[in-house]
Amino acid sequence: MLCSACSARRDWLLINRGRHVWIVCRCGHQWLEPEIRRADFDALVGAPDWTHHDSVQEGLVALGFDGAFAGLYLG
Ligand SMILES: [Zn+2]
């Protein structure tokens, strides 16, 4: 996996919505990642390089992804 906009391979925010996992890159690009299943998501957020947040908004703010994309994940 890598960001199609800036080619970053990490430092993403992963957002689990139901059965789907969205990735938000620090460059602002976001995409649905169908290859990540829930089990993979759990493994990723449990890895040392990833931080788990209890809510999407909390994660967005904490990681500096505040504001611009938050509305996409409501509801
Ligand atoms: Zn990017």
Give the containing element (helix H, strand E) for 17.
Answer: strand 13-17
| d(CA 58, ligand 1 centre) in Å | 20
Centroid of ligand 1 to alpha carbon of 48 (angstroms)? 21
Question: Tens place of pLDDT for every residue, the chain, 75 residues?
Answer: 788 999 988 778 878 777 778 888 888 888 888 777 767 766 666 655 555 666 766 666 666 665 444 444 443
Spatial CA neighbour of 24 closest among 40, 37, 8, 35? 8
For residue 42, how far is its CA from the centre of ligand 1 (angstroms)? 22
Strand order in 30-32's β-sheet? 13-17, 20-24, 30-32
| CA of 3 relative to ligand 1 center, distance in Å | 5
